[in-house]
Amino acid sequence: MDPFALTKQKKWSAVKGTAEVALDFYVTFLGCRKGAQHDQKIDTAARGRLLKILRAVSWVESAHGTSGENQPERDPIQCGNPKDAWWKELTGQSGKGSRFIHGPNLSNLWANKFVGEAEAFNGFPDAAKMSGLGSKKKGHTDGKFSQNHSYYWGVGYLIHRINTTAGDKSYQCGDLSRDRLIDGAVECNGGGVKDYKERLNKALKLIGDLSSFEALDRIALLEHQGLSIDIARQLAELSTGRSLSHVRLEWDSNGILRAAGVRFD
C-alpha cells in the first residue's frame, strides 16, 4: 500500500467510530430513503456510499482532525466555525434557517429547532449535546467543543445538502450517484474553497473511490444467486441422490427470484 494511503487509513481509524455512529443516527433521524421513488430503506451498500463521501469530506477538511488552521482536532469536518452560515442557523442566530423535510412518519423542522429535536431523539449521545459547551455561539472555538460535536452536528447537514442540491428533500437520497454525492458535499462547503471538488476527487481516489451503485447491486445479486445455487444443489442431491448439472434462475428488476429450474446428471 502507498505509505500516504496507509497514513490516511490510520488517521481515519481514529475517528471512524464516531463518524459511523453519527451517520447511522442521521439515517434514522431524517428517515433517509433511496431509489427513484425514495421508498427504499438505506441498505449496506447505500450506507457505504454515504460513509465514503463523509470520509472524503473529513479528510479534505482536516485530514481527520490532524491538519488545518481552524481547530482541526476538535472539529474534523469543520461544521462548528462560528462564522459559518450553518452554525449560525443551528444556534438560532439566523431566524428559522433551513427547512429539514424528514421521511415517513417523522416531523419536519426548521434549523433553529434542529438541536432540540435531535438531542431528544433516541440514540443521541450526551457527549455531543450543546449543553456541554461553555457557549454554543462560539462553535469550535469553545474549549469544550469535541469531535462528537463535529460529526453529530455536521453529518445531518451534509446529508441535507447532498439531497437538496439534487432537488430532493432532506431525507431523499435518490440514486446516491457519485456526482450527486460530490456536488452536495461541495455545496455543503459553501464555496469557501475554490478547488473543493478536485480535493474531494483526490481523496476518493485514495480510499477506493465511489464505484457505480449499479455495480454494487450486481455484486449483491451474484452473491444471492450463488447462495441460491448452493441451496438448490444440496436439496437436489439430498432428495434424489443425483448430482445437479445445471441451474436456471430468473430474477425480476428488483433482484427477487421469480423462477428456478434444475437439471440432473
Nearest to 166 by CA among 54, 13, 38, 61: 38
* CA–CA dist 25, 18 (Å, integer): 11
Residue 98 above 80 pLDDT?
Answer: yes
Name the more confident of 257 and 9. 9
Render pLDDT for 138-173 as a digit per residue (tens, 0 to 9).
999 999 999 999 999 999 999 999 999 999 999 999
b/e for 45-56, b at 16 or more Cβ within 10 A? ebbebbbbbbbb
Check: pTM over 0.85? Answer yes or no: no
Average pLDDT, the chain: 86
Confidence (pLDDT) at 191? 82
The set of cell numbers assigned to 180 is 450527486
Residue 100 above 60 pLDDT?
Answer: yes
Instruction: Indicate the SS3 state at residue 183.
Output: helix
Q: Which of 18-27, 74-83, 200-209, 225-234 has the lowest mean pLDDT?
A: 225-234
CB 60 within 8 A of CB 203: yes
Name the more confident of 68 and 2. 68
Strands (E), the chain: 33-34, 40-41, 99-100, 109-110, 244-251, 257-264
The set of cell numbers assigned to 93 is 442566530
* CA–CA dist 33, 39 (Å, integer): 6
CB 204 within 8 A of CB 210: yes
> In sequence order, which residues have a C-beta less than 8 Å from that of residue 210 and are 6 or more positions away?
49, 52, 53, 178, 181, 204
pLDDT band at 255 (very low <50, low <70, confident <90, very high): low
* CA–CA dist 172, 178 (Å, integer): 15
Strand partners, 259: 250
The gap from C-alpha 90 to its chain's centroid, in whole angstroms, comes to 20
pLDDT band at 28 (very low <50, low <70, confident <90, very high): very high
Residue 214 above 50 pLDDT?
Answer: no
* CA–CA dist 110, 260 (Å, integer): 51
Share of the chain above pLDDT 70, in %: 77
State which amino acid sits at residue 32.
C
* CA–CA dist 114, 119 (Å, integer): 8
